[in-house]
Structure 1
Amino acid sequence: MDQIVADLGLSVHEQWELHKNHITPLPENDDGKRICVVTGIHGDELEGQYVAFLLNQELQQHPEHLRGTVDIYPALNPLGINTIQRGVPLFDLDMNRIFPGATDGPAAEYMAHEAIEDMRGADLAIDIHASNIYLREMPQVRISEETADALVPLARELNIDFVWVHAAATVLQSTLAHSLNEIGTNCLVVEMGVGMRLTPGYGEQLTQGILNLMHTQGMWAGPVMRPRTPIVSRDKVAFLNADASGIFVPETVHSGKVQAGQCLGIIADPLTGTVRQKVTAPVDGLLFTLREYPVVCPGSLLARILMEGETQ
């Protein structure tokens, strides 16, 4: 059922509406649990849109398997999605920096507050992000150290490739995930793909993972696939940045294993026809982030490698 969580009148007779699809099980199958699947906080991150579509289809085609309530929020920042902007247009801000919001704050903070209040009391939440237009990410869950004990076991069921546990000091307290975890709703942050694009294979992979996680929590009785066993790392990651300006041309495959000294790509100078930098792997490991947008300048992030042997 399409429900409006919150709405605000805007200028020129426009309306800011926050929608969710509220899917409930058959009365005799209801175990009282609820999961929230959220995406579209950033208007340039569209990978979650496909997951919302696939999950909606599966739940509606097989209502007999559903054992809990599922709330799907496909566009928490619809204004950003409609205008192809990362943040909330007109307000010039990142929506994932204003949670938990405020009832008496500006419009964006009010909408953030209403979203949190609507999700309050859920047993689980999954906040789906893509990368930006510059980087491609393999399907991963990002978790803070302070929530790792509770969230890593849940992340292992999500059919993703990598769980990255961050130092607590690097986690922003103004995000949706942090706010939900603070009020007792376990929230997993998924990052995958690239900005302004769809990677259908990633969407299908995560959808199967969500069904599997629901199955382990007693919310889904339908068939599920055996999830992938993710690598779990506590921040043992090597960052590769550009030393020169030019065009980055990758020479390796994203999501593959690399060896120290292996060439990952070059930074080419279109003006002179010279190679400004040969980019090599500093360590053995898993290449889980790779530059997608080719134009770079000194300092631009080119890749991230999970160091071999630094996993759990």
Structure 2
Amino acid sequence: MIETVFASELPVGERLLIRKHRIEGTAATPFGGEAAKRGHKPRIAVVTGIHGDELEGQYVAFKLSQILEENLDKLYGTVDIYPAINPLGINSIERSVPMFDVDLNRTFPGKADGDLTETLARAVFDDVSGADVAIDIHASNIFLREMPQVRINEISADELLPLAPLLNVDYVWVHASATVLQSTFAYALNTTGTRTLVVETGVGMRVTNAYGESLTQGILRLAAHLGAWGGDFVSAEPPIISNDGEVSYLNAGAGGIFLPEAEHGTMVKEGQLIGIVANALTGEVAERVVAPASGLLFTLREYPVVYPGSLLGRILKDVN
């Protein structure tokens, strides 16, 4: 069933619509898990498209809808899929909400009597609130490629860490609370009692099918853990769990064209050449970028033009 979460009139006779796909299972009894213990039908919310230039979640919304609609007898409870929270941004390939120049993920929980972006945020927040688990899917920007990961505020770590590995990601990054903005969708929901996992994967303005397939199976796996799913799913290896103190950043010391030598998602050693910053005018190597520590290269520059200070990569240190 397609339901409207928010609607507003726009100039030139257009309308802004935020819609969700509500999928109600027909299974009469839970498949164990939390649903059997709590005695109620679980609700899972899958949210993506808060940033208009992050499209990796579109694949997940599509595939998850397909699988669930074809297997309603294996679903106990409800799955709400919100594929486009910022449809104006998606249509124009802009991160923020066009015309307003507002980052929607800095407006939650929103205001019922605010401007359009604030009322939109409030409507989405209220609609998702109360779900047993919400999954907030993001991608990287056009500059960086990220391995599939779950990012957790340390304040919510006790509740979310048992759930995060179920999503088939490569690692779980627990952030210090000081680095997490309180106006994000996930923070607002977590602090009001709705468990929300933030997934970061892929690269901006692109769809990486393999990442989306793995995450789709991970959501089914999480649903099975809750007792909401009795069908098949694929399990991945346990992820690495890290905190801010275990991540090393690589920043450019010179401007030019970044040409990577190391492969994204591989283990690197301290002192290993990660790439070079090339000067296209002179034909000189402006900088040799080497790994400051050994570990997993989980972020790598995708867009080649860099300036001094540009982020080139992140290494998760001390990974065995």
Q: TM-score, normalised by structure 1?
A: 0.98
The equivalent residue for 2:6 is: 6
The equivalent residue for 2:301 is: 291
Partner Cα distance (1:10, 1:33) in 2: 36
Contact 1:29 1:66 in 2 (8 A): no
Please report how far the alpha carbon of residue 29 of structure 1 lies from its aligned counterpart in structure 2 after TM superposition. 4.3
Contact 2:54 2:203 in 1 (8 A): yes
150, 167, 170: which one aligns with 1:158: 167
Q: Percent identity, aligned pairs only? A: 58
Q: Which moved more, 1:223-232 or 1:192-201?
A: 223-232
Matched ranges for 1:73-88 at <5 A: 73-88=82-97
Partner Cα distance (2:233, 2:214) in 1: 12
Please report how far the alpha carbon of residue 227 of structure 1 lies from its aligned counterpart in structure 2 after TM superposition. 2.8
Partner Cα distance (2:41, 2:70) in 1: 21
Partner Cα distance (1:164, 1:256) in 2: 17
263, 273, 289: which one aligns with 1:263: 273
Long gaps (5+) in structure 1: none
SS in 2 for 1:114: helix
Partner Cα distance (2:221, 2:149) in 1: 16
Matched ranges for 1:40-189 at <5 A: 40-189=49-198
Deviations 1:245-294 (A, max 9, x none): 10000011100000001101000011000000000001000000000000
Partner Cα distance (1:107, 1:226) in 2: 41
Which letter does structure 1 place at the counterpart of 2:141?
A: N
SS in 2 for 1:221: coil
Which letter does structure 1 place at the counterpart of 2:309?
A: G
* Number of equivalent positions: 310
Q: TM-score, normalised by structure 2?
A: 0.95
Contact 2:217 2:235 in 1 (8 A): no
CA RMSD between the two structures: 1.0
Please report how far the alpha carbon of residue 63 of structure 1 lies from its aligned counterpart in structure 2 after TM superposition. 1.1
Contact 1:212 1:227 in 2 (8 A): no
SS in 1 for 2:41: coil
Matched ranges for 1:270-309 at <5 A: 270-309=280-319
Matched, 1:28 2:38: no
SS in 2 for 1:7: strand
Moved over 3 A (4+): none
Partner Cα distance (2:126, 2:237) in 1: 33
Deviations 1:103-126 (A, max 9, x none): 110000000000011111111000
